[in-house]
Structure 1
Amino acid sequence: MKDLLHPISLVVAALGFLCLLRDVPARRRDPASTALAAVFLLSGLSFLFSITPMWQYLDRVLGTVNVSVPLAMGCVVALIACQQVVLTYWGSPPEVARRRARAWLSVGLGVIAGLLVLFALLTPSAPRPIDFTLYYAHDNLYAAYLTLYVTAYTLGELFLVRACWRLARRSSRASVRIGLRVVALGATITLGYSAVRIGDVIAGAFDRSLAQWESFAWTCGDVGAMLTLIGWLVPTVSDQAGNVQHRIKQHRSYRGLCPLWLAFYSEVPEIALPIDRADPAQRRRFRSIGIKLYRRVVEIRDGRFVIRPYLDTRVRESSEAHHRAEGLHGEELNAAVTADQILAGIAARAAGERPDPDQLTDFADADRQTSGPLDEIAALLAVARHLPHEPARAPHTERACA
């Protein structure tokens, strides 16, 4: 059962670690993110060390029989401590969190040190990758070793369940609430593993065996661990999905503003902001869709400024009457009128025909209230929708919207 479930759990842990690894550089000053990545790494290592081929390989390379036992269990104790660090930073002020995190890590290191000392006192004579616990259950030193490990494991899982439910009730984010409840469910299931291991210690004292419960123990341990890892991933996956949606929206907005940008660029090519092609750092920065979109908005804003002195009030009045007759009103009407003003203003500038001062006007959407960049982009997109999708362009602008 162990060699069937552990590879699956290892894959889950590895995928989760790779998913989190993407955000670690951007959040290197966030101890919770680092601790959470460590949870997945340590979990994966604990499963890896326990798989029979790796168990046998480590025995040969390190020259110590059953050395996978303290390695795997040490990883589990460390990840339990790291889980508490994550919850501490999520639920406490930074000063308090730092103090509590150091305490949890110190306790974890203490338990690991105790496990290593007790394992060094054991005298394992043969590799037992499948039934190590059953084989050594009658050894008093191993009983002490297993008691220390199971006590730390059980208390850690109980603290995890309690802290997850408490923090889930306080969180305002749905993904965090769901994720923490899945973590709590997984930790609760792992207590079945703890119960069997406690039973192994007690049965060993009475010269009995719980061999028939081994499959149940490994099933609880692996299924519970997988649920715990999945629960930790829920907020991260939710955030990354939101980031992907945001980037898709930025790409669509960038493409959607193309007709508006080209309309200005065809008459005022100097609105294009220069890029130092020889500077690799600047080239990388301007490949970002966020920077490209911001740049496009600024250039359109500059184009509007250049065209504004050529806006004729008669064009605006005629356009308003036309679009009102088509049933447009409100902001959509202003966007349609603004599109007509832009085309007329560009034509007037090309012909060198400024309107009389008493005929000057402003863009119809000039009074639209925008509270931030997203609102401004939405306003510009509304104007762009009323422009021809394939305006006339010079050959050197063919790839300008790519």
Structure 2
Amino acid sequence: MNDSSYYLPAVAMAVATAVKSPALVRAWRDPLLRSVCTLLVLAGLVFFFAAPPTIAQVNHITGIPNVSAPLVYSLLCAFSASCLVLIINWRGGPPEVTRRLSRRWMAGYGVVSVSIIVLFALGRAPLERLRDLDTYYANTPFIREMIVLYLAALTVAGVAMNVMCWRWALQVHGWLRAGLLIIAFGFMFNIPYAAAKFTAVVARWNGHDLDYLSTDTAPVLASVGAQVSAVGFCVPLACQRIGDTWSTWSTYRRLGPLWRELKPVSAHADRTVRISWWSPAELQVTQRESDIHDGMLALYPYFDSEVRSDAYESAVAAGSEPGRARAEADAAMVTAAVRAKAADPEGRVISAADADAPAHAEGPRDLVGMSTALRQSPVVAAVRATTATRSESDFHEETR
């Protein structure tokens, strides 16, 4: 692997962390968000400090040959623990169980990291090795144990991640299952990575030279596995985000017929301050709903419960289910009220309502269902056609 193979993933992780930082500041108590950000930071640090130029620079700055080894190995252990903690928090469950499992994994890998540092301090590795420290010092007391310990820790993390991901994947569906299977596949690379390293180390113990497995093959496996796992973590989150955005825009579009129906009577139909077209979908839907509610407020004196009751009965008779029938009835009452208001330009019905304070019909509820009914329901179309011809004479009759 060349140096860019280390630094490019490190930069990508740094960018992802920067993107997530504002959300972390707003909700720093969220354990799942903290786990995601911790994983991104540690992944970036592993790639950065594992790059040979960085290894050489750290050794030079500290003045300790090969001090980068325990640093990188400890970061790998911390990264493994963060992956396990993320899966635990992502899966959810009773908070006390989640916290207990997370603390156990963190404590276990914390002990491993401390042991790695202690073993390095007890051993002697005076000659700097940027790429082949594991095999060069495979027979050195304490350094040998340090190498075996970190490889065993990575193997345990790979097996544990696979077990947890596969078990959880059997209980879920959709993009979450796809993401978990990708994560499991990525962490499976930990096993051949550790196997290649162990094979090269054991070969050195027996006087053979299989260093290429450690210096050439293993780093490629580790890089591929890490990038595949990163994709697995991103797939459910990204696809859920895309799905939520699509659903929000779909709601915005489906509210269109009702919004256009009420636009002429909305008190803010001619507002000069509008949000821009590139504003978030949630904000667009919020404004459209606000415009609809403004229109409803203006129509409130014109709502006729008899129109809604008759429309509901007609919709049920036509075969509509109760929920859909209620939406059709609400839409029929709204479209009748729009035409009633249009036939009352002087606002005499509103004046009469203020004076007599009658009990008005309950306001509509299912905005999306009403909007769909305005466009599709024959019951609403019939009410629209009927009220268009008689509303003006009826309201003159009522306000005499």
TM-score class, shorter: 0.7 to 0.9
TM-score (norm 1): 0.73
Label 1:302 to 1:87 Cα distance change in 2 as closer, same or farther (>3 A).
same
Q: CA deviation at 1:47?
A: 0.6
Which residue in 2 is equivalent to 1:149?
Answer: 150
Label 1:350 to 1:140 Cα distance change in 2 as closer, same or farther (>3 A).
same
Label 1:344 to 1:7 Cα distance change in 2 as closer, same or farther (>3 A).
same
Q: How does 1:259-274 map to 2 (within 5 A)?
A: 259-265=260-266, 269=267
Q: How does 1:2-401 map to 2 (within 5 A)?
A: 3=3, 5-11=5-11, 13-14=13-14, 16-18=16-18, 20-21=20-21, 23-25=23-25, 28-89=28-89, 90=91, 92-171=93-172, 173-213=173-213, 214-249=215-250, 251-252=252-253, 258-265=259-266, 269=267, 288-289=283-284, 291-308=286-303, 341-352=336-347, 354=349, 375-380=366-371, 382-383=373-374
Label 1:330 to 1:113 Cα distance change in 2 as closer, same or farther (>3 A).
closer
Label 1:36 to 1:367 Cα distance change in 2 as closer, same or farther (>3 A).
closer
Aligned-partner SS, 2:28 = coil
Aligned-partner SS, 2:344 = helix
Label 1:64 to 1:382 Cα distance change in 2 as closer, same or farther (>3 A).
farther
Label 1:78 to 1:118 Cα distance change in 2 as closer, same or farther (>3 A).
same
Amino acid at match of 1:226: Q
Q: CA deviation at 1:110?
A: 0.5
Indicate conservation of the 8 Å contact 2:189/2:222, yes or no. Answer: yes
TM-score (norm 2): 0.73
Aligned-partner SS, 1:125 = coil
Q: For 2:301 and 2:268, how far apart are their aligned partners in 1?
A: 10
- The Cα offsets for residues 159-198 of structure 1, whole Å up to 9 and x where unpaired, read as 1111111111122x42221111111111112211101221
Amino acid at match of 1:200: A
Which shifted more, 12-21 or 220-229?
12-21
Label 1:29 to 1:256 Cα distance change in 2 as closer, same or farther (>3 A).
farther
Q: For 1:384 and 1:294, how far apart are their aligned partners in 2?
A: 17
Q: For 2:239 and 2:195, how far apart are their aligned partners in 1?
A: 34
Which residue in 2 is equivalent to 1:280?
Answer: none
- The Cα offsets for residues 185-241 of structure 1, whole Å up to 9 and x where unpaired, read as 111122111012212331232233222223221111111111111112222112221
Label 1:296 to 1:347 Cα distance change in 2 as closer, same or farther (>3 A).
closer
Label 1:177 to 1:352 Cα distance change in 2 as closer, same or farther (>3 A).
closer
Indicate conservation of the 8 Å contact 1:348/1:354, yes or no. Answer: no
Label 1:128 to 1:158 Cα distance change in 2 as closer, same or farther (>3 A).
same
- The Cα offsets for residues 138-164 of structure 1, whole Å up to 9 and x where unpaired, read as 322221110110111111111111111
Label 1:219 to 1:256 Cα distance change in 2 as closer, same or farther (>3 A).
farther
RMSD of aligned residue pairs (Cα, Å) = 4.0
Q: CA deviation at 1:270?
A: 8.0
Q: For 1:241 and 1:159, how far apart are their aligned partners in 2?
A: 30
Aligned-partner SS, 1:350 = coil
Q: For 2:123 and 2:242, how far apart are their aligned partners in 1?
A: 49
Label 1:333 to 1:292 Cα distance change in 2 as closer, same or farther (>3 A).
closer
- The Cα offsets for residues 236-295 of structure 1, whole Å up to 9 and x where unpaired, read as 112221232244345546766553343113xxx38999x9xxxxxxxx9xx944543442
Aligned-partner SS, 2:142 = helix
Indicate conservation of the 8 Å contact 2:186/2:225, yes or no. Answer: yes
Aligned-partner SS, 1:55 = helix
Label 1:270 to 1:333 Cα distance change in 2 as closer, same or farther (>3 A).
closer
Identity %: 22
Question: Which ranges of structure 2 fall in alignment gaps of 5 or more residues?
Answer: 274-278, 319-323, 354-359, 385-400
Indicate conservation of the 8 Å contact 1:297/1:377, yes or no. Answer: no
Q: CA deviation at 1:81?
A: 1.2
Which residue in 2 is equivalent to 1:395?
Answer: none
Q: For 1:367 and 1:67, how far apart are their aligned partners in 2?
A: 72
Question: Which ranges of structure 1 fall in alignment gaps of 5 or more residues?
Answer: 276-283, 388-402
Higher relative contact order (Cα pairs below 8 Å, separated by 6+ residues): 1
Q: For 1:112 and 1:163, how far apart are their aligned partners in 2?
A: 23
Q: For 2:211 and 2:26, how far apart are their aligned partners in 1?
A: 48
Q: For 1:91 and 1:165, how far apart are their aligned partners in 2?
A: 16
- The Cα offsets for residues 289-342 of structure 1, whole Å up to 9 and x where unpaired, read as 454344233212212203337x998xx99xx9xxx9xxxx98998688657534
Amino acid at match of 1:195: A
Label 1:262 to 1:376 Cα distance change in 2 as closer, same or farther (>3 A).
closer
Which shifted more, 17-26 or 50-59?
17-26
Which residue in 1 is equivalent to 2:396?
Answer: none
Indicate conservation of the 8 Å contact 2:180/2:233, yes or no. Answer: yes
How many aligned residue pairs are there? 350
